[in-house]
Structures are given as structure tokens and as C-alpha cells.
Amino acid sequence: METKTTQKIRNFNKSSLDNKKVAAIIGVILFTFIATFIVYKMFFSKTIEENDLSVYSEIDPSFFNRIEEPPPPPKIEEPKPKPKVKPKPKPKATPPPPPPRDVFAQNYEAINPNKELIDKINKKRFESGKTMALSIKDNKTSFTRMDGHFKVDTDKASESVYLNRVITADRMIPAILINELISDIEGKISAQIEDDIYGFHGRDILIPRGSRAVGRYLPLQKIGDERLIATWDRIITPEGVNINLKDSKLADTMGRSGGYGEIDRRLSERYGLSILLSTLNAAVGYAISKQSTDSTQAYTATTYTNGIAEITGQILKEQLNVKPRITMRAGTRIFINPTHDMFFPENSSGTVLPSPYYKDKGEKR
């Protein structure tokens, strides 16, 4: 028991000694720092203050009380008047040089020194209405008298016309088929106008959208035909106005004449029965020739096969006249192609009243 107690006392003394050493070291450091600060204040701070005071002593005390006078205003010099510059005289315009003379005209004048005299003679001759025409025949030249007027057939143009009530022949009128067309027999064709049709000038609607066109189509004329021919008779507007057409044709969306649709060449109807009869004839003839031994049976088989061959040939001739079938479905887009200008007179009984086109309400174009 005594030994344990003595050990604890020793350990306690060791720890207390360590703490005392640490406290002593800290005290020495603080003392050194404070002593250094006091020495610095006593010696070095005085020299710095003396240097600052020596600088201030060199400055004149009246410097801080002196008031600076404002600088005198700058003298404004009046601008000197600019000397007047006399305008330079414009150079006289030189006339443009004459155009170069034609080389061929110079050569012609050199070859024909009497050109002026020839021109006077020709002028008098033309005014008299009696002229001479040169004709060459069989390497012989001759002159024949002719009238002064130049009688040659020429195309004549009209005066300028405001075509606000004219649909010219170059216009294509878009429409949509109402009924389905089958080219087996002749029939009626009807279509509905798709867009408003305006005059050549202006913005007057001559044929409003929704108008109906009526015409007739023809069946195909020969086997190689692949386009349906149709002509239009008239157009009926929603206001009940009839527009009679003259030789207006049906055209497809590319502007080509005739209508184009689904083509059925009907090959089975043209050649199917003939092929069937020919095959049956060959099979019957082959079977009889295999079973018959005497001449009577062979003659009978030959006669039978020849008869079937004649019937087959006759049927083939009749079936060759079967023409293809063209079907144009309802709703197909087409064009009405007029061949003449369509003129719309002023509004009166039985004529067309164009509808003006309005972009917005109250705004006429």
C-alpha cells in the first residue's frame, strides 16, 4: 500500500513540473516582445518625428495662406474674312463628234456618184403611183409596171383594248369531274369550276368558283387510242347565268388534249376465247388421231378439226374489234381548254354580271 502511494506522488510531481516549465517559457517570450517594443518607441520613433519636422520647417508658412489668382481670360480673335474665290469660267461645251459613216454607204457613194439625182428620180416616181418591179426569169432581167401601193397580205393588229371582260383562248379553266366516265359508249360529262376566273385585265370575276360545266364525251375510235375526247357545251354560274362555249376541249392537268385515266386493254376478252377454242380443237384432233385406225375415222376427225378452226378464226376477227376501256374517276382534276376568246358584255337581260373581287370588306381591288 505504501509503495502505490509513493508512485502516485512521484507521477503527480512530474506532471506539475512539466506545466511549470511551459509557463516559464511563455513568460520569457512575452517579456522579450514587450522589451523590444519599448526600445523601438524610445529610440527610433523620435528620429522619424524629427525628420518629418525638418521637412515641414523647410516649407514657407505663407505658402498655405496664399490665394491663387485666376488666370486672365484668353483673348478671342475675330476670324479673318475668307477671300472671295472667283468662279472659274465654265468651258464651252464641245458638240459631240458626228457618228461614223457607214463603210458600205461610202463605197456605194463612191461607186454611184449620181446618187442624189437617182434619189430625186425615184421620189418622183413613187409619188406618181407608177413603179417598176424587177423580175428575173431564165437569167433574163425585165421590169414590169406595178401600182404604188404594196399589195401583200399582212397580219393586222387591233388598237389597244381594255380586256377586263374577256377570257382569252390561252387560258386554262381548272375544274373537277363530278361523274365517272367510261369510254365504252358516248355520254355526258360534267365538272365543277375549281377557282375564280378573272378577265385578262383587272380583277373582275367573270366565272366564279362553283360554276358547273356540261359537255359530252365520245367513245374510243380505234384500238390504239388511249385518251378520251370530250367537248364542253356551256358553263352555268351560281347566279344562273349560262355561258355558251364553242369547241372547248377537255385537257389533262398538263394541258394536253384529251382526258387520261385508267386503261383496260381487255386482252382476255380479245384473245381468251380464241385461245381456248384453239386448244380444245388441238386436243380433240390429237385424241381422235390416236384412237382411229381406218380412213373413215381419220376423215371424220379432220373434218371436225377444220370446222372448229374456222369458227375460232371467225371469233378472233370479231374479238379483235374490242377497243380498250378508259375510266376517269369522279374527282379527277382536269382543264377546260377554250379555243376562242370568251367575251362578257355589260350587264343586261341574259348576260353575265362579273363579281368584283374584295380583298377585305370595303376594299376593292
d(CA 14, CA 201): 126
Question: Both 143 and 271 in a single domain?
Answer: no
The answer to whether residues 131 and 206 belong to one domain is no
In a domain, 241, yes or no: yes
Q: Do 211 and 314 fall within a single domain?
A: no
pTM greater than 0.75 (yes/no): no
Cell numbers 362579273 correspond to what residue?
354
CATH of the domain at 200: 2.40.128.260
Long-range residue pairs from 114-120, CB within 8 A, at least 24 positions apart, any chain: none
Judgement on whether residues 290 and 172 belong to the same structural domain of the protein:
no
Tell me how far apart the alpha carbons of residues 38 and 250 are, in angstroms, rounded to a whole number: 124
Q: Domain range for residue 205?
A: 166-263+326-364
With respect to residue 276, please indicate whether it lies within any of the assigned structural domains: yes
At 181 the pLDDT is 94
Domain membership of residue 358 (yes or no) is yes
Paired sense of beta strands 166-167 and 342-343, if any? antiparallel
DSSP 188-248: EEEEEE-S-EE-SSSSEEEE-TT-EEEEEE----STT--SB-EEEEEEE-TT--EEEEEEE
Judge if 187 and 284 occupy the same domain: no
Same domain assignment for residues 231 and 114:
no
Q: In this structure, are 302 and 350 located in the same domain?
A: no
Residue 132 lies in a domain: yes
Query: CA-to-CA distance for 62 and 57, rounded, in angstroms?
Result: 12
- Distance, CA of 238 to CA of 236 (rounded, Å): 7
User: Are residues 240 and 134 both part of a single domain?
Assistant: no
| pLDDT computed for residue 197 by the predictor | 93
Same domain, 352 and 277: no
C-alpha 276/C-alpha 272 separation (Å) is 6
For residue 113, what pLDDT is reported? Answer: 65
Q: Provide the domain count of the chain.
A: 3
Tell me the average confidence (pLDDT) per consecutive run of 10 residues in the chain, 365 residues long.
52 56 80 79 62 60 63 77 78 76 56 69 61 60 56 74 88 95 93 93 89 94 87 91 90 92 83 77 72 65 74 74 88 94 72 49 45
212's CB contacts (< 8 A; 6+ apart) are 178, 190, 191, 192, 193, 235, 236
Amino acid 215: pLDDT: 96
Positive or negative CA dihedral for 316, 319, 323, 325?
negative
Q: Please list, residue by residue across 260-283, b when 16 or more beta carbons sit within 10 angstroms of its beta carbon and e when fewer do.
A: bbeeeeeeeebeeebeebbeebee
- 65 in any annotated domain: no
Identify whether residues 209 and 354 lie together within a single domain: yes
Q: How is residue 258 annotated by DSSP?
A: S
Where are any strands of DSSP class E within the chain? Answer: 130-137, 140-147, 166-167, 173-177, 181-182, 187-193, 197-198, 204-207, 212-217, 230-236, 242-251, 262-264, 325-328, 333-337, 342-343, 355-356, 358-360, 363-364
Q: Let me know if residue 29 belongs to a domain.
A: no
**Residue 346 resides in a domain:** yes
Of the candidates 265, 248, 237, the one whose C-alpha atom is nearest the C-alpha of residue 334 is 248
Do residues 227 and 172 both lie within one domain? yes
| Residues 334, 65: Cα–Cα separation, whole Å | 109
Q: Is residue 294 included in any domain, yes or no?
A: yes
Is the domain of 243 the same as that of 354? yes
